[in-house]
Amino acid sequence: MSATFLGMPGNFPENSQKAVQDSQLRYNLRKATHTIRGKRADVVGELPDWAELRAAGKAIKDHTLRNLDRYLVQLERAVQDAGGTVHWARDAAEANRIVTGLVKATGEREVVKVKSMATQEIELNQALAAEGITAYETDLAELIVQLGDDFPSHILVPAIHRNRSEIREIFLEKMPETPAGLTDDPPALAEAARLHLRERFLRSKVAISGANFMVAETGTLVVLESEGNGRMCLTLPETLISVVGIEKLLPTWRDLEVFLQLLPRSSTGERMNPYTSMWTGAVEGQDFHLVLLDNGRTGVLADEVGRQALRCIRCSACLNVCPVYERAGGHAYGSVYPGPIGAILTPQLRGMGSELDASLPYASSLCGACYDVCPVAIDIPEVLVDLRAKAPHAAAEKAGMKVAGWILDDHRRLAAAQRLASKVRGLVPKKRLPGPMSAWTDTRDVPEIPEESFRDWWERNERA
Ligand code: SF4
């Protein structure tokens, strides 16, 4: 069974501390993220109406989320009218049960997969493996991750942490048909993967996909991709099963037009993605099943501040500009959703019950670069601050914050506290605070307490 993110030990600070020691990883990440972010900036800069498009994307998503119940029912009817079958999954376990049941009913023991965040989120490959069904990832980067028994570390480029020679090693070890003389030239690596996958495309009778968008008025699903593997998976097999988060909905085709401009430019830095596949219900010779996945999304929807995370179209632009992601890499986040969006989405979807998930809202310097590039204007820093307030805190920290709040609430109390601090300034350590407060001074000096507060100085000089 391949690796699983769920139950990963540690917390973000520990994981990132280990990651920053890896200079090769930091080099790979910097090179890749800076290249993609440069391409994005160029193609976004070409559009004089980018700000209007972004506002439209945000407005459409907000409207859809406000009326999600209505649009989901509309979508269900449209898919059924077009010959498809719709299943509703409350959580990962239910979705996995539905999909494995559907595959088993076909009698097949293997499936091909189109890259899909939703199926990674529910760990579908592991659930299929437990039932004796082999899932073949067909996206090149996903294939590298799967063959390396590894975790994805980027939304768009899951194998961003691997370089060419590492990929060559993985192919030689895990793909028996690979010629021994394989070089680490990108075209040679791509050709080796193509040979490996082609046979699986042709023999597989079942495919599993996600979708970037679902159009409620027609029941159409939309997948955007660059390699053509998606088109093969969506069209060749006799049974197609799509697992899609309920927030991926758009009311109309007109709305889709906005997102077909926003997504490729923000994601791969292209004006248009090479392959856009759309299908409505079942086509001749193919059964179609749509599994609508909640898995915590309605809980996120109920949160006034946090619900904006459901606008996300998984473009990964926020990862490519994040100074924390660039140094820590994706694995430190312990989730299929790394980077700034992961720091707000994972704790909301999974709750903050584990040490790892409770540490994620702190995986940010709050610089705001993620908000600036987000094509649907998710105010990630706002959600991070809100989640930090909701995260579990030690009793001493809570008491300290309560006292600080009480002092800061009244200018007389603040002035008295400042005078007291000035009097005892000689007792405060210069470099490192004692006890549990030492963690705060591990990476910074203790700020010097002035002999006299600004308030007192002002009062003295005003009177003089
Ligand atoms: S939060 Fe915004 S920038 Fe980040 S992946 Fe989602 S849509 Fe893209």
Q: Whose CA is nearest to atom 4 of ligand 1?
A: 318
Find where tokens 């029941």 sit: 219
Measured from the CA of 340, which atom of ligand 1 is nearest? 4
Q: CA–CA separation, 93 vs 102, rounded Å? A: 14
User: Is any atom of ligand 1 closer than 6 Å to the C-beta of 322?
Assistant: no
On whether the CB atoms of residues 250 and 64 are closer than 8 A, the answer is: yes
pLDDT at residue number 6: 62
Measured from the CA of 309, which atom of ligand 1 is nearest? 1
State how far Cα 176 lies from the chain centre.
33
Q: Whose CA is nearest to atom 3 of ligand 1?
A: 374
Measured from the CA of 266, which atom of ligand 1 is nearest? 8
Three-class DSSP labels, 17-39: HHHCCCHHHHHHHHHHHHHHHHH
Ligand 1 center–CA 378 separation, angstroms: 7
Using alpha carbons only, what angle is made at residue 244 by residues 303 and 380, rounded to the nearest 5 degrees?
35
Ligand 1 center–CA 285 separation, angstroms: 37
On whether the CB atoms of residues 332 and 15 are closer than 8 A, the answer is: yes
pLDDT at residue number 1: 42
Q: What is the pTM of this model?
A: 0.90
pLDDT at residue number 428: 86
Ligand 1 center–CA 160 separation, angstroms: 17
User: Is any atom of ligand 1 closer than 6 Å to the C-beta of 224?
Assistant: no
On whether the CB atoms of residues 362 and 392 are closer than 8 A, the answer is: no
Ligand 1 center–CA 117 separation, angstroms: 13
User: Looking at domain 5-298, which of 3.40.50.720, 1.10.760.10, 3.40.50.10420, 3.30.750.24 is its CATH number?
Assistant: 3.40.50.10420
Ligand 1: residue of 40, 314, 333 to mutate (most ligand atoms within 8 A of CB) is 314
Measured from the CA of 313, which atom of ligand 1 is nearest? 7
As beta bridge partners, residue 222 has 213, 278
Ligand 1 center–CA 341 separation, angstroms: 6
Measured from the CA of 319, which atom of ligand 1 is nearest? 4
User: Is any atom of ligand 1 closer than 6 Å to the C-beta of 352?
Assistant: no
User: Is any atom of ligand 1 closer than 6 Å to the C-beta of 216?
Assistant: no
Spatial CA neighbour of 315 closest among 242, 377, 248, 265: 265
CA distances to 170, 363, 367, 432 from 12, rounded to whole Å, are 28, 7, 18, 23
pLDDT means per 10 residues, the chain with 464 residues, are 63 92 90 95 97 98 98 98 98 98 97 95 97 96 93 91 92 90 93 91 95 98 94 94 98 97 97 96 94 98 98 98 96 95 97 94 97 98 97 88 96 94 89 82 87 90 79
Using alpha carbons only, what angle is made at residue 263 by residues 214 and 65, rounded to the nearest 5 degrees?
45
Q: Whose CA is nearest to atom 7 of ligand 1?
A: 312
Ligand 1: residue of 318, 333, 382 to mutate (most ligand atoms within 8 A of CB) is 318
Ligand 1: residue of 315, 320, 345, 382 to mutate (most ligand atoms within 8 A of CB) is 315
User: Is any atom of ligand 1 closer than 6 Å to the C-beta of 157?
Assistant: no
Ligand 1 center–CA 260 separation, angstroms: 15
pLDDT at residue number 177: 85
Domain ranges of the chain: 5-298, 397-463
User: Is any atom of ligand 1 closer than 6 Å to the C-beta of 376?
Assistant: yes
User: Is any atom of ligand 1 closer than 6 Å to the C-beta of 375?
Assistant: yes
Find where tokens 């649009």 sit: 71
CA distances to 240, 244, 381, 432 from 128, rounded to whole Å, are 15, 17, 37, 52
Ligand 1 center–CA 184 separation, angstroms: 32
